[in-house]
Amino acid sequence: MNGFIFSSSISRYIFAGVFLLSQLSSRLYGQPVRVVDVCVYGGTSAGVIAAYSAKKAGKSVVLIEPGLHLGGMSSGGLGATDIGNKQAITGLSRDFYRRVGKHYGKQEQWTFEPHVAETIFKQYLKEAGILPLYAHRITSAEVASNKIKWIKLERVQAQWYTKDPQTNRSTRLLTQTIEAKQFIDCSYEGDLMAKAGVAYTVGREAASQYNEPLNGVQFRDKHQFPDGVDPYNQPGKPESGLVWGIGPASLAPNGTADRTVQAYNFRLCLTDEPANRIAITRPDGYDSTKYELLLRQIAQKMPKELTWNLMHFVMMPNHKTDINNCGGFSTDMIGANYDYPDANYARRDQIIREHEQYTKGLFYFIGHDPRMPKHLRNEMLQWGYPKDEYLDNNHFSPQLYIREGRRLVGDYVMTQANCEGKLIVPDAVGMAAYTMDSHNCQRLIVHDRNGMPMVRNEGDVQVGGFPPYPVSYRAIIPRKGSVQNLLVPVCLSASHIAYGSIRMEPVFMVLAQSAALAACLAIDDKKALQDIDVPKLQRLIQAQSQQLTK
């Protein structure tokens, strides 16, 4: 070996000794190194599909999940799939919904319970022989010669034990450093991308930047307050201060760029099945003043019922729900997430707790505050947390809906023109199809024609009516001359308004499968991701039942 000759017995002792010393050093210093072909960061739906695809392609894989659950929003309460057009959902993404269908005795199913989705994601990993690394998150990345050499991780908990799918034995996971040939960032936050120093953006571009009439500030009428909702703690008295939830900003002209982020919320799985229902009780830190705007909204426009008026209820199997935002004041915590994309982990945890407290408080307020109309209180009291969901998190989803955070800035930026079919990319690696959809970004004061102040939301856009369109390969990799071995299929290169169409769970899975195949091709051909043969990649993608054109 390398010019030296050893007897086989001596070689075995030497290598055994080196191995034992390395293991001892790892345990003493707590920083063992794991070397793989492909490192996938983020156990979202995209992360699971990327890891599965790479492993099935014959590569060694590690999947890192900072939390304790797989599937991201697909198992986090978003059971009412945002489809857009089923023609765009192909490959393993479509396979997932067919596996869901098999669970419910159908060919395919697009609505499902959270625990069913997570079980299916676990099945993918078990089939591939992948043991996910839970409760670890990135702290740094070493980049040299435009390549990520390794990433360092920290434990989210002091200890975490899991089971090897092959042996079923509990294993203490000590891995803190990951070396890989290729990295795929499947997190909603783009943390690996950011640690690697890749160019990204946060917020809304000006409408003029990419010639997008729907980008930037958008003052419209969807999910809006009725006229006449006073913004002050004491109506008519500005000196009394703003009611909770109203920001201090003034309304800028439509199309203006800013750093605001569309609102986050929890997609809530509740049930009205008495045998499976846990009553919604007063949460810690409850503050009824946070819901004053709800009372004022109702005073101006009395809803006949809770569902489809104050909240968007979609029924899931077995008497469960996927509840989303609806109206001027609902489950979206508008303006509370601006720090989140670039925040440290402690601040993010705080933001998540604030959203959880707000949501639990909202449900309790609707069901118990005597100022709420009795028919709405009675309707809310029919619902509760399901006993058979999120057993390790008090039956409440651990996954905040990070609708948008960081976005890669690549050599190609997907824009409104792509969504509308005015620009067609030649290097497609998947299709998207959903409406250009942004939730509100701000809640502020505007003045009516008589100069009277009132509360309004800003930022909601819902414009669709276009067929499926291709997503560029260049939109999921960094610019040429930047990092050569990183793919970003979730926080991809798109403007704010185009991302609002692409950012759907089925599309993330489609792009993740393609990203995994690109990583494997780059390894096999010993090329930078920016230099691989894209037509060859497209043939590999199509061979796995993915459709790239409408």
Tokens of 63: 């999947």
Distance of CA 490 to the CA centre of its chain: 8
User: What's the longest Cα–Cα distance across the chain?
Assistant: 95
Q: What is the 3-state secondary structure (H, E, C) of 157-193?
A: CCCCEEECCCCCCEEECCCCEEEEEEEEECCCCCHHH
In percent, how much of the chain has pLDDT > 70? 91
pLDDT of 172 > 90? The answer is: no
Q: Distance between CA 487 and CA 477 in Å, rounded?
A: 5
The tens digit of pLDDT for each residue in 374-408 reads 999 999 999 999 999 999 999 999 999 999 999 99
pLDDT-wise least confident of 133-142, 164-173, 484-493, 503-512: 164-173
pTM of structure: 0.92
Residue with tokens 């990993």: 125
In 254-362, which ranges are E strands?
277-278, 311-316, 320-325
The tens digit of pLDDT for each residue in 154-168 reads 998 644 444 444 445
The residue ranges of every structural domain in the chain are: 27-199+468-543, 205-403+441-466
CA contacts within 13 A on the Cβ side of 323: 29
Q: Which residues contact 447 (CB under 8 A, 6 or more apart)?
A: 453, 454
Per-residue pLDDT, 54: 98
Q: Which residues pair with 44 in a beta bridge?
A: 71
Work out the pLDDT band at 16, boundaries 50, 70, 90.
very low
Q: Which residues contact 464 (CB under 8 A, 6 or more apart)?
A: 84, 434, 435, 436, 437, 501
Strands 407-408 and 469-472, by their bridges, are unpaired
For residues 195-210, give the mean pLDDT. Answer: 98
For residues 461-489, give the mean pLDDT. Answer: 98
CATH of 27-199+468-543, one of 3.50.50.60, 2.30.30.700, 2.102.10.10, 3.40.1710.10: 3.50.50.60
Tokens of 468: 């499926």
Per-residue pLDDT, 31: 61
